[in-house]
């Protein structure tokens, strides 16, 4: 499924478990330890979960990679333990805890990270989740502190990672010949901040990046057919009436079948996330550690006079001046395998009218045949930024006193709900109908990550 984001999309994953703020961490919670004069991070526990605050003036207390964590109990019950989880190995203790930097320890803590009142249990095999226990329960209004492995800094918004990070597009092909126009188009995505693709994807809530391409205009007659999964003997004719459609469409094109040595059927993705490296359209063949590349060189013989001689063009040609139209966007691969179109990319048209190796193509990773055909590619629009919003919290509170946490409603949702209620009270005679309409407008029913609250 391809999720198109809205202008105010927020990541439910972040808000569903933990709220966080980049502010001065609470003063007086942590004593000076090592390089720190106070807490690097403070977890504020309430009756509904936990919220993180960061002190950007405090780095790792060991000067390398460990974090001094404060905890405040603003719930109505004593705090016996708290469950934490992260994408980092926060429980991968290596004997440089706060006890080694002058903090008093306690007999229950064999790792030296718990300070005077904390110790650790239920650590998973990857050391990314576990439980922090308190020797003396922290009463309501009380505070405590302990330490964790890795530098837990304020999360980087995804927009800072992906905005203005898609290059080009760059046009190429037969540019050197007389009156020739560009016949291929390429681009690349290099995450900002020096991040590799895998880290950038994780910081944006994805498992990877890919492209999604949409054909927004396919002039008739069209030579393109999609595989019909229900009836392979009856392929689906991809005519103008079917636009817009994913390129490749579900099932892939009939010109890229296993019998041809490759497939292209991982819609809505441009490159196949699941295909092996032996497939030229496999995503892994178009990415390095830091760069995701894109290439296409469409060819539609029905745009030229030769269409009058070709059965795939019904022995006819498109009206003079007809062009194929495309939109190519960077997309995130969501954990469920679906796509989230980030909207960063470019729109373009193409009227190149020859065929490559006797095959008409839209999705194509090979250059056109030398000296063939006329026409070429024109870029019509470039969109360098996204409205997608996501910040991956470095650690999440999973349990309080062994009980799974309850989601704290996001501030934006609370404000919107308050406005709804005020509006409803002032229009009581239409309250039921208008409240339903307003709820639909404020919280449209999107699937996957395309949700606001």
Q: Report yes or no: 35 and 59 within 8 Å, Cβ to Cβ.
A: yes
Tokens 């019904």, located at residue: 314
Strand ranges (E), 9-111:
19-21, 41-46, 49-54, 67-73, 79-85
| Predicted pLDDT of residue 449 | 36
The Cα 416–Cα 395 span in angstroms is: 28
Contact 39, 26 (CB under 8 A): yes
- Chain-centroid distance, C-alpha 424: 36
Task: Answer whether 226's CB lies under 8 Å from 215's CB.
Answer: no
Closest to 15 measured CA to CA, from 405, 403, 399, 409: 409
Task: State the DSSP H helix or E strand holding residue 421, giving kind and residue range, or none if neither.
Answer: helix 411-426
Residues of the chain with pLDDT under 70: 1-27, 174-179, 257-262, 355-359, 369-371, 406-453
**pLDDT at residue number 365:** 74
Predicted pLDDT at 430? 33
3-state secondary structure of 432: helix
Q: For the beta carbon of residue 78, count every other beta carbon within 10 angstroms.
A: 14
- CA 244 from centre of chain: 23
pTM: 0.69
- Determine the pLDDT at residue 261: 59
Q: Residue-wise over 403-431: b if at least 16 C-beta within 10 A, else e?
A: eebeebebeeeeebeeeeeeeeeeeeeee
List the beta bridge partners of residue 170.
186
Residue 255 is predicted with a pLDDT of 86
HSE, CB side, 13 Å, CA atoms: give it for residue 143: 13
Torsion, Cα 361 364 370 371, to 10 degrees, reads: 40
């Amino acid at each position: 499924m391809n999720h198109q984001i809205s202008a105010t999309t927020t990541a439910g994953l972040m808000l569903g478990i933990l709220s966080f703020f980049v502010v001065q961490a609470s003063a007086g919670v942590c004593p000076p330890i090592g390089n720190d004069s106070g807490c690097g991070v403070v977890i504020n526990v309430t009756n509904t979960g936990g919220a993180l605050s960061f002190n950007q003036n405090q780095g790792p207390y060991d000067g390398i990679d460990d974090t001094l964590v404060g905890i405040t109990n603003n719930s109505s019950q004593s705090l016996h333990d708290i469950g934490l989880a992260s994408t980092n190995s926060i429980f991968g203790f290596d004997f440089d805890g706060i006890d080694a930097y002058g903090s008093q320890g306690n007999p229950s803590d064999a790792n030296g990270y718990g300070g005077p009142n904390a110790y650790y249990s239920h650590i998973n095999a990857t050391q990314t989740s576990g439980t922090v226990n308190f020797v003396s329960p922290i009463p309501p209004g009380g505070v405590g502190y302990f330490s964790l492995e890795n530098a837990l800094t304020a999360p980087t918004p995804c927009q800072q990672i992906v905005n203005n990070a898609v290059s080009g597009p760059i046009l190429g092909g037969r540019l050197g010949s007389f009156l020739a126009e560009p016949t291929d188009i390429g681009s690349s995505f290099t995450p900002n901040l020096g991040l590799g693709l895998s880290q950038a994807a994780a910081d944006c809530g994805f498992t990877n990046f890919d492209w999604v391409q949409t054909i927004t205009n396919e002039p008739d007659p069209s030579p393109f057919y999609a595989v019909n999964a229900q009836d392979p003997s009856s392929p689906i004719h991809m005519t103008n009436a079917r636009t817009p459609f994913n390129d490749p469409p579900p099932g892939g094109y009939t010109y890229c079948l296993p019998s041809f040595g490759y497939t292209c059927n991982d819609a809505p993705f441009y490159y196949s996330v699941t295909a092996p490296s032996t497939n030229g359209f496999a995503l892994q063949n178009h990415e390095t550690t830091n760069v995701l590349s894109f290439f296409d060189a469409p060819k539609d013989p029905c745009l030229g006079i030769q269409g009058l001689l070709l059965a795939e063009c019904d022995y006819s040609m498109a009206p003079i001046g007809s062009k194929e139209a495309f939109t190519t966007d960077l997309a995130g691969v969501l954990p469920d395998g679906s796509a989230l179109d980030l909207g960063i990319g470019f729109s373009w048209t193409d009227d190149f009218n020859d065929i490559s190796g006797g095959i008409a193509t839209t999705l194509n990773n090979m250059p056109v045949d030398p000296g063939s055909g006329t026409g070429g590619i024109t870029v019509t629009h470039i969109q360098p930024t996204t409205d997608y919003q996501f910040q991956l919290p470095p650690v999440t509170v999973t349990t309080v006193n062994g009980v799974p946490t309850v989601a704290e409603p996001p501030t934006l949702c609370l404000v919107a709900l308050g406005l709804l209620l005020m509006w409803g009270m002032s229009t009581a005679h239409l309250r039921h109908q208008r409240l339903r309409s307003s709820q639909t407008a404020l919280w449209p029913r999107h699937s996957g990550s395309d949700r606001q609250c």
